[in-house]
Amino acid sequence: MKKIISRSLVGVLAIPSAVMAEELWITIGSDGYQTLKTNSSLVAKQSLTTHGEERNGVTILKVDEKNLSSISTLMHINHNRCGGFMVHDSLEEAQAAQVSSLTTTVNTLVTYSIDNADVVNALQAEISESNIRSTIQSLSNFTNRYYTTSTGVDSAEWIRDEWQAITGSRSDASVELYNHSWAQPSVILTIQGQTDPDEIIVLGAHLDSTVGFGTGEGTRAPGADDDASGIATLTDVINAIVATDYKPDKTLAFMGYAAEEVGLRGSDDIASDYKSQNKNVIGALQLDMTNYYGSNSDIYIIGDYTNSDQNNFLEDLAETYLSDLTVGTTYCGYACSDHASWYNQGYPVSFPFEATFNGSNPYIHTSSDTLANSGGDASHAVKFGKLAAAYVAELAKGYIGDDPGPDPDPDPGEEQTETFSGNVDRGSEEHYGPFSVTPGTDFIADMTGTNDADLYVRFGAAPTWRYYDCRPYEGDSSESCSLTVPSGESEAYFMVRGYSRLGSDYEVDVTYTPQ
């Protein structure tokens, strides 16, 4: 069947157009380039001879905008990719993308930790199969969501309205349309972080749909799995955030990308814009096709053009919070979805996928990409909603409701000094504490006295003659310990131990800042 379609397609693509569309540059993987060489009517001749050199497994070509959907169709039929290439407005942009395809460095300053279980559990409890299913069906009801059609615009505006309706009670949330040079806008919902608003976490899915070449007004392209399922999964995470009154420490940006199917154009515009503004995106997550259960494992992490550290973080999240699920790895090649746009700009990005790449939904890019052909419900997508909820809660941190919990950096009290005195015989010990102390402040113990007594200081537990944080080792009773209270410690202790056979009188002044 694929061979018949491919031969028919070649004939369609060879038909010349009397109307010249805008010429654009694309970057495409080496395997995709070989496919296009057999359909050279799609590529400006000068590109094949002048700019067709391969670098990092990526080739630069010049194409007419009118042929983008046909190229997308070829990539889908021959390589099972959505998009499979990236569109650029200039040769310079294309050259930069070609260089970055393997030399991109990602943000290495992100610290991953798993310690926000209360928030994760609350968000995951709100993820609803029926909600996701309803959103998939609503988006599938549009004739199509193609980037140049009126229903493509209508569907983007519907998503905007839906996200606004969900977050309307939140003063920290705003929804906007992000306009491009074509008709369909992208949609961005921003939830401002409470303590670190300049650190941004992006969760995205593409809102357009296609059946490949010839998609236009009236063409039926329901795109239930590709990618109404991703938008629906994001929408339910948003709903969970509002239902639990979750307040993230860091800023969350939920994005519905336009024109993914014709070269990742919407996400490329946005990621490039964020980079030019030096926005600090500490993590990005792509949800493209979440509802077709086509392989043995529940979730597959795309292993190419993604960030390995964040991928490992996702696997750890699944092991911790979704231990009944199995997670595998698969690969999809160059520019198979919008994660590539963030990767090319140097941002850490991950792409959890519904199946192995070869085991994914066979109905996409056809009028048969319906909810019924994904099993009739959204049970598989729920897994991705719960993973995304864990990702949000553990990367953005934050809290539920109005109570932020203990202040992670409380204002310290006023420094104070206490004095202690006594007498110790040789080998005897006197213990003092605990003193409630503030991390990052000074703890000072100054001892004076007769003969020879020894001073010991320790944080977190009482000192012994073997275990201590400070032991001055002076030859008399004049000893001093001056230490900074370590992070995570809240208690300090000191001990005086006699050494002289004659006994020793002592006096210790302890200066510290209580919590």
Cβ distance 81 to 65 under 8 Å? Answer: no
Closest by Cα among 224, 252, 221 to 238: 252
Confirm whether 288 is a catalytic residue: yes
Q: Quickly tell me which residue has 């109307």 as its tokens.
A: 19
**Among residues 76, 206, 339, 380, which one is catalytic?**
206
Rounded CA-CA distance 279/277 in Å is 5
Radius of gyration (C-alpha) of the chain in whole angstroms: 30
Q: Which amino acid is at 218?
A: G
- The answer to whether the CB of 53 falls within 8 A of the CB of 30 is no
**Cβ-defined contacts of 3-11 (< 8 Å, 24+):** 5/77, 6/77, 6/78, 9/70, 9/73, 9/74, 9/77, 9/213, 10/38, 10/39
**Per-state percent for the chain, helix, strand, coil, to nearest 5:** 35, 25, 40
Q: Which two structure tokens, joined as six digits, stand for 447?
A: 């001892």
Per-residue exposure over 339-377, b if at least 16 CB sit within 10 Å of its own CB, e if not: bbbbbbbbbbbbbbbbbbbebbbebbbbeebbbebbeeb
- By residue count, the chain amounts to 515
Q: How far apart are CA 333 and CA 357, in angstroms?
A: 10
Tokens coding 411: 């204002």
Choosing from 162, 288, 338, 369, the catalytic residue is 288
Within 10 Å of residue 91's Cβ, how many Cβ atoms? 14
| Paired tokens of 389 | 């909820």
- C-alpha count within 13 angstroms, C-beta hemisphere, residue 221: 26
- How far is it, in rounded angstroms, from Cα 508 to Cα 453? 11
Catalytic residue among 260, 268, 269, 469: 260
**Which one of the listed residues 261, 268, 469, 479 is annotated catalytic?**
261
Which residues pair with residue 59 across a beta bridge? 28, 54
SS3 of residue 61 by DSSP: strand
Residue 420 in tokens: 């202690």
Annotation says 226 is catalytic: yes
CB of 493 closer than 8 Å to CB of 461: yes
Q: In angstroms, what CA-CA distances link 256 with 70, 104, 144, 281, 328? A: 23, 24, 15, 17, 26
Catalytic-labelled residue, pool 126, 199, 226, 479: 226
| Active-site option among 365, 452, 469, 479 | 365
Edge-first strand listing for the sheet containing 23-29? 54-55, 58-64, 23-29, 85-88
Among 89, 74, 88, 66, CA closest to 32: 74
Can 88 be counted among the known catalytic residues? no
Q: Give dist(CA 291, CA 21) in Å, integer.
A: 36
Q: Mark whether 206 is an active-site residue.
A: yes
Is residue 117 within a helix (H) or strand (E), and if so which, with residue range? helix 117-126
Active site residues: 206, 226, 260-261, 288, 365
